[in-house]
């Protein structure tokens, strides 16, 4: 077994290591990083769900670091025809230096990581979307110069993004208010763990969450795999649209974040996502920088933390 680390969830890294990842990512964004830590290395990218940002940022990022990325869809690889995840993990490990996967059940990525002999990176599961929230935190740090001692609001579904924000609060200790309708709460076990380290609350009123917040976040009401619940969710999330009025309850300097893709007129109004407080394009760009930093650490020689 080759020694390696995975990135399946934000707490897989210590707080110090995460700050180290952000420092590398900032240098990359500023054009101050010209090393090629992935020289001669390959990343397998398995996508069991659609993607624009994740696919392009990982592929381009690998290339920019001197490596090569392979896009593997279930239509083309045997995994889609039922080859076990464990076998896929063992075989890919004989060819590539890292595996990024976007899939449904979180236990599938854990299974992949268990049998892989190379680093596994989470490109989204039903439970978590850690690379996205790292990009979001990088955006927050660029805006406010810090990611602790700040209040952040999540408005909407207690989904993979909300769960990753909870994991981020666990590591960084910022205040996090999650406004969601009953029945759409985030994962209990993540919430309970984070609440030991940070003020994380579930509230029912979006305005209560927005009040005093420097960051207002939302995401689609029906995630990938929940398309048949769209109508029922539209009813449940009535009143949860991030509107100009809701932004007005937040801090004057507050920014709006959305991992994208967005549905204007549903979870966010067009005047907010396309307005002056929106940072969604920087947020999308930061996927590239932060994932390059993660790959440089896990697959290259870059080190972070103590
Ligand atoms: N935000 C995000 O992960 O986008 P994609 O689904 O396009 O990868
Ligand atoms: N919660 C969304 C995020 C998409 C990037 C989903 O899982 O579809």
Interval 241-269: pLDDT, tens:
999 999 999 999 999 999 999 999 999 99
Q: How much is the pLDDT for 306?
A: 66
Q: Is 220 in the pocket of ligand 2 (CB under 6 A)?
A: yes
Q: Which atom of ligand 1 is nearest to the CA of 54?
A: 8
Q: How confident is the model at residue 2 (pLDDT cuts 50, 70, 90)?
A: confident
Q: How confident is the model at residue 289 (pLDDT cuts 50, 70, 90)?
A: very high
205-221 tens-digit pLDDT? 999 999 999 999 999 99
* Per-residue pLDDT at 128 exceeds 90: yes
Mean pLDDT for 221-241 is 98
44-81 tens-digit pLDDT? 999 999 999 999 999 999 999 999 999 999 999 999 99
Nearest CA to ligand 1 atom 6: 51
74-112 tens-digit pLDDT? 999 999 999 999 999 999 999 999 999 999 999 999 999
Per the prediction, the chain carries an average pLDDT of 97
* Per-residue pLDDT at 3 exceeds 90: no
The CATH number of 10-129+285-298 is which of 3.20.20.10, 3.40.50.2300, 3.40.50.1370, 1.10.3720.10? 3.40.50.1370
- pTM surpassing 0.85? yes
Structure-token pair, residue 235: 């009813």
User: Distance between CA 279 and CA 38 in Å, rounded?
Assistant: 30
Q: How confident is the model at residue 1 (pLDDT cuts 50, 70, 90)?
A: low
Top mutation candidate among 47, 49, 124, 138 for ligand 1, by most atoms within 8 Å of CB: 124
Please give the share of the chain, as a percent, with pLDDT higher than 90: 98
Nearest ligand by distance to the CA of 104 = 2
Q: For residue 218, how far is its CA from the centre of ligand 1 (angstroms)?
A: 14
* Per-residue pLDDT at 230 exceeds 70: yes
Nearest ligand by distance to the CA of 123 = 1
User: Distance between CA 34 and CA 43 in Å, rounded?
Assistant: 20
Q: How much is the pLDDT for 114?
A: 98
Return all residues near 279 (Cβ < 8 A) that are at least 6 apart.
Answer: 139, 143, 255, 256, 257
Q: Which residues are bridge partners to 68 per DSSP? A: 42
Any idea which residues carry the catalytic annotation? 102, 129, 132, 219, 259, 287
The reply to whether domains 10-129+285-298 and 132-284 share a CATH topology is yes
Structure-token pair, residue 52: 């624009």
User: Distance between CA 54 and CA 160 in Å, rounded?
Assistant: 15
User: Distance between CA 231 and CA 76 in Å, rounded?
Assistant: 32
* Per-residue pLDDT at 5 exceeds 70: yes
In CATH, what number does 132-284 get?
A: 3.40.50.1370
Structure-token pair, residue 60: 């381009």
Q: How much is the pLDDT for 16?
A: 98
Q: Is 53 in the pocket of ligand 1 (CB under 6 A)?
A: yes
Closest CA to 222 of 261, 280, 176: 261
Mean pLDDT for 112-133 is 98
Q: Where in the chain are the domains?
A: 10-129+285-298, 132-284
Helices (H) and strands (E) in the chain, counts: 12, 9
Q: What three-state secondary structure class fits 97?
A: coil
């Amino acid at each position: 077994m080759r020694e390696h680390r995975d990135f399946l969830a934000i707490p897989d890294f210590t707080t110090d290591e995460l700050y180290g990842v952000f420092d590398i990512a900032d240098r990359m964004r500023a054009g101050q990083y010209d090393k090629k830590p992935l020289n001669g290395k390959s990343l397998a990218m398995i996508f069991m769900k659609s993607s624009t940002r994740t696919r392009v940022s990982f592929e381009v990022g690998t290339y920019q670091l001197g490596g090569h990325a392979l896009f593997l869809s279930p239509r083309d690889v045997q995994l889609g025809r039922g080859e076990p995840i464990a076998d896929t993990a063992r075989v890919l490990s004989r060819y590539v230096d890292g595996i990024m996967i976007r899939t449904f059940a979180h236990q599938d990525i854990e299974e992949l990581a268990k049998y892989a002999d190379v680093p596994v990176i989470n490109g989204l599961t039903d439970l978590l979307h850690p690379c996205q929230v790292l990009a979001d935190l990088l955006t927050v740090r660029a805006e406010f110069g810090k990611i602790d001692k700040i209040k952040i609001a999540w408005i909407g579904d207690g989904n993979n993004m909300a769960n990753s924000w909870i994991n981020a609060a666990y590591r960084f200790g910022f205040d996090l208010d999650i406004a969601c309708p009953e029945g759409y709460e985030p994962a209990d076990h993540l919430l309970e763990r984070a609440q030991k380290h940070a003020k994380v609350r579930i509230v029912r009123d979006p305005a209560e969450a927005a009040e005093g917040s420097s960051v207002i976040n939302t995401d689609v009401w029906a995630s990938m795999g929940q398309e048949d619940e769209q109508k029922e969710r539209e009813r449940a999330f009535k009143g949860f649209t991030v509107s100009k009025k809701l932004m007005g309850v937040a801090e004057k300097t507050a920014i709006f974040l959305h991992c994208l893709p967005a549905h204007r007129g549903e979870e966010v109004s067009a005047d907010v996502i396309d307005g002056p407080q929106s940072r969604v394009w920087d947020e999308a760009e930061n996927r590239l920088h932060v994932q390059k930093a993660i790959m440089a650490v896990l697959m290259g020689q870059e080190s972070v933390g103590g």
